[in-house]
Amino acid sequence: MSRAASLNWTRWLHLAVLLAGLAYAAFGQAAAILGQVRLSASDEATRAELQLDAAPGAFKVFSLGNPDRLVLDLPAARLAEGFRPPAPNGRVIGVRTGYPEPGTLRVVFDLGGAVKPRARVEGAGRETRLVLELFRDEGALVAAAPVLAAPAAASATTPAVPAGVPAALQGERKLVIAIDAGHGGRDPGAIGSRGTYEKTVTLQVARALAEEVDRHPGMRAVLIRDSDVFIPLGERYRKAREAQADLFISMHADAAHNRAANGASVYVLSTRGASSEAARFLADRENNSDLVGGVSLDDKDRNLAAVLLDLSQSATLRVSDEAANQVLEALRSVGKTRKPQVERANFWVLRSPDVPSMLIETGFITNAEDERKLNDPAFRRRLAQAVTRGVADYFGNQPPPGTWFAANPQRSPRQHVVARGETLGLIASRHGISVHQLRQANDKRDDVVRVGERLRIPAPE
């Protein structure tokens, strides 16, 4: 089995075990009661908040068209006495309920147009909330006026995604990239020979990276800090988890007593760091009720919680390592890298158990040349473009289900490993693109290639 196939298999195995854990937790429990549905709307999305008195178990969410509807199936659930559907709001023009099969409560949201849903469970026990965020689907044809005709009833036999798959994995959603500018506020970080503060450089690089990420049709950026403020280390990765990030990138600038030390480095969390963080989470579960991809651990027995956390961390570390290698490869097109491989360290900001994370040392601020380049907006832009290219290369090769990358394989980045005797012109011709396109996609100023070099293959124009 190839490494890529192994990774995909690990992801689905991870998801299957999470769902098994949910079923295990729900087994033998009384039916959850849906007491109320609240609707609120903003310019960005319509939010549906379902008030439950217990965890919903392996719920199912899927979309129907002609007319547009969003269907939520809740196994082992029922309506509270006196339940009243909410008034229309935002994209939701009506809410209906029913029981397509004994013991399964179905909630149908009639919509005024196609949406891209995201789902999560918040709280626990009698304070459980199932939150659906309905974002407008810009890629769909939306009617100019709301649908006024009574929608057809949703069929219990309508094809749906596998039970328990979060709605965030459905549709062409954008990947969320959380970008963390290291240090800030009262923590200046390292200081260069010309007085450059690391906290200033990291914020400038983070902003440049966010701009490049947002330019990519399949990704959107979330800045952990966008000003000169101090944020505790643990709070940084918690902010990434709250944003439901698919990847967390922490930007830094290295320092050394040896002023000749230079070049960029990429780090992922060490196994030791992962183990210590797992122990902390398991010892303090009442403050970490939503740890594993939206699955609560505080209502599981300790052995099951440990298994779920270990599976989540293993998959997260594997993705972190693969993505970091792609980014390191891309950074070589910008300048020297400190080491030929991704390094491992016990950085606190990389400790999220369910968000793949990496830390990039953009260069040595204590090196005069690196400091000069980091103060150059043009270099920061090239650096940001390289990191974005590395991230896009990874997700193009390993597209998560339901994302833009999975839905647009022909537009996702491809790679070509240069073999002996190949030239840039030959490679471009083989992939149906121009030499100029190939040169531009790989930040090349000439046509020289080396055996074993990985080239990013852009989509044909």
Residue 408 has pLDDT above 80, yes or no: no
Q: Residue 252, SS3? A: strand
Q: Are residues 196 and 123 in the same domain?
A: no
117 close to 61: Cβ distance less than 8 angstroms: yes
Q: Is the pTM of this model over 0.85?
A: no
Residue 290 and residue 380 in one domain: yes
260 DSSP 8-state letter: T
* CATH at residue 392: 3.40.630.40
Looking at the fold, whether 390 and 420 belong to one and the same domain comes out as no
Give pLDDT, residue 126: 83
| Domain match, 373 and 227 both | yes
Same-domain check for residues 309 and 430:
no
Last residue of a domain, which of 123, 141, 165?
Answer: 165
| Residues β-bridged to residue 45 | 135
Q: Do 154 and 206 share a domain, yes or no? A: no
pLDDT for residue 30: 61
Query: How many domains are there within the chain?
Result: 3
CATH of the domain at 424: 3.10.350.10
Element holding 60 (H helix, E strand): strand 60-64
Q: What is the CATH number of the domain that holds 135?
A: 2.60.40.3500
Query: How far is C-alpha 315 from the chain's CA centre?
Result: 13
Residue 14 has pLDDT above 60, yes or no: no
The answer to whether residue 131 is domain-embedded is: yes
Per cent of the chain over pLDDT 90 is: 25
Same domain for 199 and 276, yes or no, is yes
* 54 located within any domain: yes
pLDDT tens-digit series, residues 29-60: 467 899 999 998 887 888 999 999 888 878 88
Q: Cβ contacts of residue 310 below 8 Å, gap of 6+?
A: 278
181-187 long-range Cβ contacts below 8 angstroms, 24+ apart: 181/205, 181/206, 181/207, 181/223, 181/224, 181/225, 181/251, 182/250, 182/251, 182/252, 182/253, 183/252, 184/225, 184/227, 184/228, 184/229, 184/230, 184/231, 185/228, 185/229, 185/230, 185/231, 186/230, 187/230
Query: Based on the domain organization, do 251 and 314 belong to the same domain?
Result: yes
Amino acid at 346: N
294 DSSP assignment: T
pLDDT band at 413 (very low <50, low <70, confident <90, very high): low
Sequence letter at residue 148: L
User: What is the Cα 302 distance to its own chain's centre?
Assistant: 28
359 neighbors 247 (Cβ within 8 angstroms): no
136 falls within a domain: yes
How confident is the model at residue 412, as a pLDDT? 61
- 321 is in which domain, residue-wise? 175-407
Q: What share of the chain is helix, strand, coil (3-state, %, to 5)?
A: 35, 25, 40
Q: Please indicate, yes or no, if residue 12 is contained in any of the structural domains.
A: no
Say yes or no: 437 and 383 in one domain: no
User: Domain boundary at 131, 165, 199, which?
Assistant: 165
Query: Are 397 and 448 in a shared domain?
Result: no
- Domain membership flag for residue 21: no
Residue by residue, DSSP assigns 336-405 as: -BSSSS-EEE--GGG--SSS-EEEEEEEETTSHHHHHHHT-HHHHHHHHHHHHHHHHHHHHHSPPTTBHH
Q: What is the structure's pLDDT at 442?
A: 84
Q: Could you tell me which of 107, 79, 93 has the C-alpha nearest to residue 46? A: 93
- Residues 284 and 423 grouped into a single domain: no
Of 106-120, 189-203, 260-274, 388-402, give the lowest mean pLDDT range. Answer: 260-274
Residue 261 in any domain: the answer is yes
Q: Provide the pLDDT for residue 295.
A: 45
pLDDT-based confidence at residue 213 (cuts at 50, 70, 90): very high
Q: What is the DSSP string of 88-153?
A: PBTTEEEEEEEEEETTEEEEEEEESS-EEEEEEEES-GGGEEEEEEEEE-TTS---SS---SPPPP
Q: Is 198 part of any domain?
A: yes
The predicted structure's pLDDT at residue 324: 92
Do 323 and 440 lie in one domain? The reply is no
Query: Under a CB-based contact definition with an 8 Å cutoff, are residues 57 and 22 in contact?
Result: yes
Tokens representing 345 are 């360290």
Q: Within a domain: residue 4? A: no
Q: What pLDDT band is residue 251 in, cutting at 50, 70 and 90?
A: very high
| 38, 124, 166, 337 from 34: Cα distances, Å | 11, 14, 19, 55
Pick from 385, 407, 429: which residue ends a domain? 407
